[in-house]
Amino acid sequence: MSDPTTPNGDSPIMNDPAELAQTVAMCRHCFMCRHANPTFRVTRLDSHTPRGYALMLSRLQGGQTTLTVETAQRFFESTVDGLCSELCAYHWREDDVVRAGRREAWVGGLAPARVNEIAETLVNDAGVAVRQFVPQAPEANGKQVLLWNGVRTLTSRPQAGQALVDLLSAVEADFGCVQTEYDLGTTLFDLGRPSEEVRSAALSAAAVISETGAEVIVTPCSDSFRALTSLWPSWGIQLRNNPIVQHTSTFLLPHVTEGRLVPSEGRPVWNRVAIHDSCGTARAGDVVDDPRAVLAALGVEAAEWSHNGRVAECCGGGGCLNEYQPELATRMAAARCDEIPPGCDVVITTGALCASVLATADPVPLVLDFAEFVAALVGPKSSTDTVTLPMSKEDR
Amino acid sequence: MSSTTYPATLFLRQLETIVGPENVVTEEFELECAAVDVWWITRYLAEHDPSALPRADAIVFPASTQEVSEVVALCSRHGVPITARGGGANDSGGCTPVRGGILLDTKRMNRILEFNDKSFTVRVQPGILQVDLEEWLNARGATANHFPASINCSTVGGFVSTNGTGVLSSKYGKMTDMVHQLEVVLGNGTVFRGLPVNRHSSGPDLSKVFIGAEGTLGVVTEVLLKVHPVPESRIFRSYLLPELEGGLDAGRQVMIAGLNPAIMRFYDRHDTEHILHKQFGLKDSGCFLMVGFDGPKAVAQAQMNAAHEIVVAAGAKDLGDDYAQRWWSDRLKSYYPPLDYICEPWMTAVTDTVASYENIGPLYAAMKSAVEDGFAEYGAVFHAHFSHWYDWGNSFYPSFLVKDVPEDQTEAIDLYNRMIEACAQASMTHSGALNEHHGTGMRFGRMLPHAYGESSFEVLRSIKSALDPLDLMNPGKLGL
């Protein structure tokens, strides 16, 4: 097994002061993407927008001001989900501006305490035992397909992993899970931690994955999908066997269209679902068509949210915001759920974490990860067997 | 806190009891963010001398007319200035809190209250962003047909307060045409509500007093707007004319023929190069003209055919529909950096004006000369396009640009003000308005008494004195 290529562990503009300065200069007086910023939409504060972040960073780096606890806090109240960059006509990387601001906060010792705790945990003890959360996961070594749950999915939405185990078993895939999963570096990256920490986390996880020899990696976790398909390649990390990385929906699609997974009789019937596209799958990974194709093949009408696909609004879980700012994340989840299309029985998400975050909205719609929904529909035994139908939007 | 009589902390506590503690913000960086809008002066100060930026002492986010009324009454009792703020993306310094006090930010007041699909009106709170309103209406087969460049950035209340205009104003009008009824909280906290329709013979339309008042007479708290069904068809065509005069006259003829285009835009050579060449890859030189019609398909096409004849007879080269269609689809793109000048450290301003047809050509020439000849030593550049055409005249949208900004701060700000005044003087000399759709704010406000003449301007002073005797509502604006 060859060593993975040492990654840089930074976003490109963090290494290029001129590019960062240019991005800051472009964003600091521009209001054009503000309306879409998920944090701004709930707080209405200009400091929660790319303009605000760029303005502050320009003043910090120009020596016109020093960072305070309050303004450092602001930099950590973003989901760094990339929506503003996606909507920008010229795709200026405002999420990297936020990471640069966070880096300043770390350097100045002003990162919020809870963020510090999360980062320390990831650096010191990043492993999560899979079997603890997904008891029926088979071993991965020597299998063709690696089911990678994702650390945040394991701890917040393990039923997504279990549902995927059930589905992979149902189609008799040669698959397994590792014993211990590790953060892929995305959380540390999004928190603006030093590149050597990001690199170290990514390398640890890469070693574990490479050891399996898997040719295909399937994951329900949007952070993991983003890491494996977007961040790691940009960091120069290579895996043994150069495995294909697929979201749940992409893996399931041929099995559904070729009749190996069909709706079972007597299972809960959902008439209309709303799909929430996760930032990591849709925006970073361009996984938009496959979830819809799977649903269509299963006879499920999928309603489109008003900002979806590559311009989907974050659920509130981006950059692990829900872990250190749960109240703000819940407000963002509620704002997202306020716009569920009428007549939908269920919300399904293409990121497992999104399901757990959206479920904190009040009132709570029935929210399922994509794997959970398909598993409940096609009948493999799973923890979703006891799911009950939700209130309709009119009843909410 | 800019009150002479009341301790600041107690005042803030009172505000918190009205709107909730989380909706009174005093954090330094938030106040600074709110102090910087699109106006060149605030951007310049943010870069060079942030301590000189006029700032509010607190930002207050009310959620209802009742809360606005209580906040305003409280401020009135204690002499605290109030600057209403919607999107805060004004390019005139309209929301600059020159005497401190509070910024009354309306963005929590963003609800759609009622949609009437028989009369096609919608009642909204003032803090709704136009882009959100438009999206909501589209989902119901309607549209506001109000598409300014700031559609993403600005609120309905802001558009009302500046009498804003969108690109389809030739057919659908300005805010003053779209607003049927306003609810406004006056300087003493009482609530005014206008008549329910805007065409009547029931005395002066008092709602109109507040349209374009830029928050100096009260805080808009509710707006009843005219909206429209989404048109069956919207078609465009573009042309290239060899020179400005011919294009201006062609446009005039289209308007006075009663063809009612939804949009018509005509760019001088420099603007054609700046926007069309860069953004759309247009290679030919000349003055770019585009027209658009919307409505029932057959009607729009007939109108387009008639306009086409007029324009071609004026010597235009037909460019087909591609450029114009792309302009429509990508029209906001030129407002993003790097195409938008605001990302550069240059001195720039838009000095849009409007005048009758016999005056608009000489006005353009005068303003161009005032900038390029009057400020040649600074390498000042001027370019413009003509948009918002009416059957009596049109507006034009000039930008001036100075890349070598004087290093001395006083000199730089003085230069900016002199250029603004030169443009304003060119407008007023040729019977143009000080501003067409951005509002006067801090940029032009001081010249409003001159535009009206002292005795006529006294009318506005009298209204101000009656409605806001303590001069607490957005002080320092509109020349008041």
pLDDT score for B284: 81
> Chain B within 8 Å of A298 (Cβ-Cβ)?
no
Residues in contact with A26: Cβ distance below 8 Å, sequence separation at least 6, in sequence order? A54, A90, A92, B337, B338, B343
> Chain B within 8 Å of A125 (Cβ-Cβ)?
no
From residue A62, alpha-carbon distances to A66, B22, B26 in Å are 10, 31, 24
Q: For residue A6, what pLDDT band results from cuts at 50, 70 and 90? A: very low
Does this model's pTM top 0.90? My answer is yes
The C-alpha R_g of chain A, in whole angstroms, comes to 20
Q: Given a cut of 70, is residue A387 above it in pLDDT? A: no
Contact A30 B30 (CB under 8 A): no
pLDDT score for A13: 65
Q: Give percent above pLDDT 90 in chain B.
A: 89
Q: Would you call B47 helix, strand, or coil by DSSP?
A: helix
Contact A31 B150 (CB under 8 A): yes
Lowest-confidence pick of B44-58, B328-342, B460-474:
B328-342
Q: Which of A10-24, B75-89, B281-295 has the highest average model confidence (pLDDT)?
A: B75-89
Q: For residue A2, what pLDDT band results from cuts at 50, 70 and 90? A: very low
> Chain B within 8 Å of A306 (Cβ-Cβ)?
yes
How is residue B331 written in tokens? 């029209």
Contact B29 A89 (CB under 8 A): no
Alpha helices in A239-351 (DSSP H): 248-257, 289-297, 321-324, 326-337
pLDDT score for B8: 86
DSSP state of B159: H
pLDDT score for A385: 46
Nearest Cα residue to A30 out of B336, B40, B159: B336
- CB < 8 Å to A30, chain B: 336-337, 340, 342-343
Q: Given a cut of 50, is residue B361 above it in pLDDT? A: yes
What residues in chain B have their Cβ under 8 A from chain A's Cβ atoms?
25, 27-30, 32-34, 36, 38, 43, 46, 50, 61, 87-89, 105, 107-108, 129, 131-132, 135, 139, 150, 152-153, 330, 332-333, 335-338, 340, 342-343
How big is chain B, counted in residues?
480
- In B108-178 the beta strands, taken as DSSP E runs, fall at 112-116, 121-124, 142-143
> Chain B within 8 Å of A38 (Cβ-Cβ)?
no
- CA-to-CA distance for A65 and B27, rounded, in angstroms? 14
Chain A nearest-CA residue for B38: A29
How would you write A104-125 as a 3-class SS string? HHHHCCCCCHHHHHHHHHHHHC
pLDDT per residue over B91-141, tens digit each?
999 999 999 999 999 999 999 999 999 999 999 999 999 999 999 999 999
Write B28-31 long-range contacts (CB < 8 A, 24+). B28/A68, B28/A70, B28/A71, B29/A47, B29/A52, B29/A56, B29/A68, B29/A70, B29/A71, B29/A74, B30/A45, B30/A46, B30/A47, B30/B59, B31/B55, B31/B56, B31/B57, B31/B58, B31/B59
- CA-to-CA distance for A140 and A181, rounded, in angstroms? 12
Mean pLDDT, chain A, rounded, equals 89
Chain A nearest-CA residue for B330: A89
How is residue A359 written in tokens? 């479920």
Partner B, chain A 311-350, Cβ-Cβ below 8 Å = none
Contact B330 A89 (CB under 8 A): yes
- CB < 8 Å to B112, chain A: none
Of residues B27, B132, B332, nearest to A70 (C-beta):
B27
pLDDT per residue over A88-119, tens digit each?
999 999 999 999 999 999 999 999 999 999 99
Q: Given a cut of 80, is residue B2 above it in pLDDT? A: no
Question: B237 to chain A nearest CA, in Å?
Answer: 24
For testing contact with chain A, the best of B24, B25, B26, B29 (most A CBs within 10 A): B29
For testing contact with chain B, the best of A24, A28, A31 (most B CBs within 10 A): A31
Contact B337 A26 (CB under 8 A): yes
Of residues A32, A70, A89, nearest to B153 (C-beta):
A32
Q: Residue B320, class by beta-carbon neighbours within 10 Å (0-12 exposed, 13-18 middle, 19+ buried)?
A: exposed
> Chain B within 8 Å of A69 (Cβ-Cβ)?
no
Q: Are strands A244-247 and A301-304 parallel, antiparallel or unpaired?
A: unpaired
pLDDT per residue over A309-365, tens digit each?
999 999 999 999 999 999 999 999 999 999 999 888 899 999 999 999 999 998 877
Question: A35 to chain B nearest CA, in Å?
Answer: 6
Mean pLDDT of the region A51-67: 92
pLDDT score for A14: 67
pLDDT per residue over A114-162, tens digit each?
999 999 998 887 789 999 999 889 999 899 999 999 999 999 999 999 9
Whole-complex ipTM? 0.93
pLDDT score for B344: 86
Of residues B30, B139, B332, nearest to A47 (C-beta):
B30
Question: B148 to chain A nearest CA, in Å?
Answer: 12
Nearest Cα residue to A256 out of A373, A356, A336, A341: A373
Mean pLDDT of the region B44-54: 92
Exposure class string for B192-208: b at 16+ Cβ within 10 A, else e: bebeeebeeeeeebebb
Contact A90 B38 (CB under 8 A): no
pLDDT score for A384: 46
Mean pLDDT, chain B, rounded, equals 94
- CA-to-CA distance for B110 and B125, rounded, in angstroms? 5
Question: B208 to chain A nearest CA, in Å?
Answer: 28
Mean pLDDT of the region B239-264: 96
